Amino acid sequence: MTKLALGILGSGKGSNCRAILEQIRDGKLPAEARLVLSDVFDAGILDIAREFNVPNAYLPPGNFRTRLEPAVEAELVRLLQQAGVELVVLAGFMRVLKEPMLAAFPRRIINIHPSLLPKFPGIEAWKQALAAGEKITGCSVHYVDAGIDSGEVIGQRKVPVLGDDTPESLHARIQIAERELYPEVIAQFAAA
């Protein structure tokens, strides 16, 4: 069976990346991580990639805080295409992708977000949910488009908000749900 070729982009610790790579290693996810890239030099996701023997690289983002320099984004496209990536998986990648990436991988870039979109897009969605008095929140996997967390939702997992939740406790439970949901959605792409 052909394995789905993944490119994983992340800016942080890489807990979702680890969950995906563990599922691949354990034979539960018919995919292959071809490349892990980060815009943060010492990001934990790069250490995880090395631990799982996945090719990885740091891509200096340039001068913008929320997106990549155009030349850097063009290099990102080149690296992913050179690795034969079929599906780009954002795992805590904190930059908005623009036209070079969106054009190169139409409906082949997905992201996980810690809320039940369309509610609470943007950063620290679990804090937004708590502040709004939500009784249920969760996580969503969605297609990436030119907006912020605005692409079509592919899958969601609900997480109850408990009466004694702190931002930290709620976020921890949402992250558990993310690590279950993301490999499931990737498996749907692999089966398509």
Q: Which domains does the chain have, with CATH numbers?
A: 4-191 (3.40.50.170)
Average pLDDT, the chain: 95
- Per cent of the chain over pLDDT 70 is 99
Are 140 and 113 in contact, with CB atoms under 8 Å apart?
Answer: yes
d(CA 183, CA 59): 25
For position 192, what pLDDT does the model report?
86
- pTM for the full model? 0.95
Give me the residue label for tokens 């200096």.
60
Helix (H) or strand (E) holding 12: none
> Which pLDDT score is estimated for 157?
98
Mean pLDDT of 179-185: 96
Q: According to the model, what pLDDT value does residue 2 have? A: 80
| Catalytic residue IDs | 113
Residues 6+ apart with CB under 8 A from 35: 7, 8, 54, 55, 56, 57, 79, 80, 83, 85
pLDDT at 62 over 90: no
| Least confident among 4-8, 18-22, 59-63 | 59-63
